[in-house]
Amino acid sequence: MGSFIFRRLLAAIPVIVGVVTLVFFLVHFIPGDPVEMMLGDAAAVADKIHLRHILGLDLPLPQQYLLFWKNIFNGTWGTSIAFSRPVLSLILDRFGATLLLSFTSLVIGVLLSFPLGVNAARHAGSKTDTFSVGFSLLGMSVPIYVVAPVAILIFSVNLRIFPVAGYGTLAHLALPALCLGFGLSGILTRMVRTSMLECLGEDYVRTARSKGLAERDVLFKHALRNAMIPVITIMGNMLGGLLAGAVITETLFDWPGIGKLFFSAFQSRDYPLVQGVVLWIAVSYVLINLLVDILYSLVDPRVRFDS
């Protein structure tokens, strides 16, 4: 297991370098000058030249690129243009909020999707199955930029159950987590249902039933456990996306996470911060995919890794 983890981390290095390199050059080619945005059009030319020199934006792109990696290795990840703070400290300050929202949303998605998916597979073709499939399609079809404003209008503006935006209390967390969890549950419900249908038709399930095992044991101890491999894969991808920052959700609900930080950095052409957030996202995806691979062996003992 140790050698497997080491090999996966080693193989991820060129992927991370490639992603960050691509984003580095793409961001620099986007129209707009961060110095103009910070000082305004009315600023003196000398002031603009001085600020551009301080920020290192007057250097050739290859030198800026090497400077960026130098800042990665010294632990600062560069200095944000807009915030005048080390990039890594800004990311760490915001990551806790994103982590809280991500795990809460994923838990809500799992709590909604697993009962619906299992019951839909158990009663395939019934009204329960039809309802679960309809719920799944609704969750997958309606985008978050539609769900969130409607939820704000109903539960915050009209009913006044939850605050419109903000951070710090359970009430502030509830609405954005429910909106994200609803979308996740649609995809997970479909995946759980599909995987369970395949497993319920296997010989080992028929054998378990012929031995007189309770239906609950057949469903959860035999079928569901074997159906978890593709479900875990989807959940890992979802968690990676959430930890990357749900940009639309965090912006709409004024949630101080990675997504809102990335949106602000992109708007202000804050090159070091954009690159730092992308690097953080790339590393997060690598670590989550590694965790998913390890979970495979815990859920299904038949999965083994070469030593």
Give the integer Cα–Cα distance in Å for 153 and 159.
Answer: 8
Going by C-alpha positions, the residue among 305, 119, 128, 152 that lies closest to residue 220 is 119
Q: In the chain, pLDDT over 70 holds for what percent of residues? A: 92
Give the integer Cα–Cα distance in Å for 82 and 68.
Answer: 16
Q: Model confidence over 38-93: pLDDT tens digits? A: 666 677 788 778 877 777 777 888 888 888 888 888 888 888 888 888 999 999 99
For residue 307, pLDDT beyond 50? no
Q: How many CB atoms lie within 10 A of CB 89?
A: 14
Considering only CA atoms, give the Rg of the chain: 24
For residue 102, pLDDT beyond 50? yes
> What angle do helix axes 271-299 and 2-29 make, rounded to 10 degrees?
150
> What angle do helix axes 61-73 and 2-29 make, rounded to 10 degrees?
140
Give the integer Cα–Cα distance in Å for 78 and 229.
Answer: 39
Residue 86 three-state SS: strand
- At the top level of CATH, the class of 87-299 is mainly alpha
| Region 256-261 average pLDDT | 89
Per-residue model confidence (pLDDT) at position 93: 92
Per-residue model confidence (pLDDT) at position 302: 63
Do the beta carbons of residue 288 and residue 240 sit within 8 Å?
yes
Q: Model confidence over 203-217: pLDDT tens digits? A: 888 888 888 878 787
Contacts of 298 (CB under 8 A, 6+ apart): none
Residues 88, 90, 93, 94, CA torsion sign: negative
What is the 3-state composition of the chain as percent helix, strand, coil, each rounded to the nearest 5?
Answer: 75, 0, 20
Residues 8, 14, 20, 26, CA torsion sign: negative
**Binning pLDDT at 50, 70 and 90, where does residue 244 land?**
low
Domains of the chain by residue range: 87-299
Mean residue pLDDT across the chain? 83
Contacts of 64 (CB under 8 A, 6+ apart): 28, 56, 57, 271
**Binning pLDDT at 50, 70 and 90, where does residue 108 land?**
very high
Going by C-alpha positions, the residue among 68, 76, 9 that lies closest to residue 282 is 9
Number of H helices, E strands in the chain: 15, 0
DSSP bridge partners of 79: 86
| Region 259-280 average pLDDT | 84
The H or E element that residue 36 is part of is: helix 34-39
Give the integer Cα–Cα distance in Å for 86 and 83.
Answer: 8
User: What residue type is 288 in one-letter code?
Assistant: I
